Structure formats: structure tokens, C-alpha cells
Structure 1
Amino acid sequence: MMQDRDVEKSERVMEALLKMKKIDIETLRFEKFEPRNGGSWRYIHKDKDGNEYAFHEVNHEVTAPERIISTFEFEGLPEKGHVILETARFESLSDNRTKLMSQSVFQSVADRDGMLQSGMKRGVNDSYDRLDELLAKGLIKG
């Protein structure tokens, strides 16, 4: 069981993750952002050649400071329904840090492999690096 200060710390990191998703950067434009149960968000990513790719997510559960459960979908596929179930869990650590554990469940191996081949793994890692950077600089509070 978490102590009160651990709960507060995990809750701050969870809030920072949600805020990070809202921060507009050169290649990202958020059109909708509702970080709550039943809320949703949509963003457009622009690549270096000016091509735009849209994504949307529905938040099924936002339980601070413990977890976020959502479904995520890339809008550019010819057929709909390639939805990913995502769970983010937050664990308070003793050294004034919070561990973020993320799990993505794909509907098929083909969906997973397609996502990896598209470069999304790099995008996810870049997002977590960005979160670390923003927390370290104090631009968002964790």
C-alpha cells in the first residue's frame, strides 16, 4: 500500500504524463484533450515532408495515482478497427521518483508488427524521453 506522499508523487507524475500529451511541439497538434474517465483526445503528427497522420484515444479509466486505461487507434489505415488497448501504471519509488509501466495489447501479431515497422516504437521512446526532459527541467511538475 502506498503512503500519502507516495500517492501524491505518483499522482504528480501521472498528471505530468497527461500534460505532456497536451504540449504542442513543432510536429504535433492536439485537436482534443480530455484527461478524464470517458474522455478522449485526438492529435495530428506532421512529418518532415509535411505529411500528416491522425491518431485518437479514448480514456476508459483515469485513476490517479494508479493507472490510465485507454484504447488508441491510427486513423490512416484503409480499414478501421485496429485498436490498441493501453494500460499505464504508476509506482512510487523510494528515491523520489515514479516508475511508469506501460503495456500495449494489439488485436493481432500482424497489427503489432505493422506498428513496429511503421516507426511507432521510436515515437513512443521519443515521447518518454520528452517526458523525462520536461520533468527534469521543471517545465511540467512530476
Structure 2
Amino acid sequence: MATPQRLETVRRLQLAMATSYSAMGAWCLVHPSSVMALGFTPAYAALCNTTTALLMRCFGAQAMTCGLVLGTSTMTPLSFTAFGLAMIPYVGWNFWFSAVGPAAGVISGLMWMDFAGNLFFGLGSLYCARLLREQQQEDGARLQGAKEKGL
């Protein structure tokens, strides 16, 4: 993949992740009751109250902030790698609370959407890191070649 294509791919993935984070965060912030009604099984959704809604709004505000930072930052291979690896606990949380943990049955069947999103963030970030590393290696090789030719 040529450098311009590589950089465009990275930028598009970065913006897709940032937009997703911000949009889901905005949903949690603006309408937490619908998120809780869809996210929890009916038995647990009925237990949600104003404190739960406040915590969901706080989560949404943090997600929006993360989306804003992700969308406006110049990411490096290291920052993409760190962001991608930071998704591991979220994927683990999805699995634990959906399938095997003591709280299995608390989260609704729609958790697969969160799981898919977290996989997208993690794997997309690692892919962007790889593309940027490849571009840096090509730039380094070009620079080395120019030095050897005396340019």
C-alpha cells in the first residue's frame, strides 16, 4: 500500500472510531434510560434508578471525551498500540458479564454489539499502528537511500 493510501486508511479508521465513541457516549449522556433498558435484562433494568442514570451519564461524558481526543489527536504507532491493548479489559468484561461470570444474565443479548465495537476499536487500532510503522520504515529506507546517493 502506498504511503498516501496508508495514511488515508489510518485517518478513516481513526475518525470512524472517534465518531463511534462520541456517538455512543452522547447516547449514554442524553438518554441513559434507553441505554439501560436495552443493555440490561428486564429484571435488572427495573432496578435502575437516578443514581444508575447519573453513572451512565458520567460514562457517556467520558466516552465523548475519549472520542474527541481520538478524533483530534495525531496518533503514533505507540499511541494506537496502547489504545488497542486498552480494549482488552472491555472485551473481557463483555465476555465475563455476558456468559460466564457470577453476574451472567444481568446484561441483555445486545451485548454482542458492544463486544463487536470493542473488537473494532482494538483490532482497528492495532492495524493503524501497523500501517504507521510500515510507513515509518519506508520513510527511513528512503532517507537512508538518499543519504547513500549523496542527496
The two structures have a TM-score, normalised by structure 1, of 0.36
Asked which structure has the greater RCO (Cα within 8 Å, sep 6+), the reply is 2
Higher share in strand: 1
Higher share in helix: 2
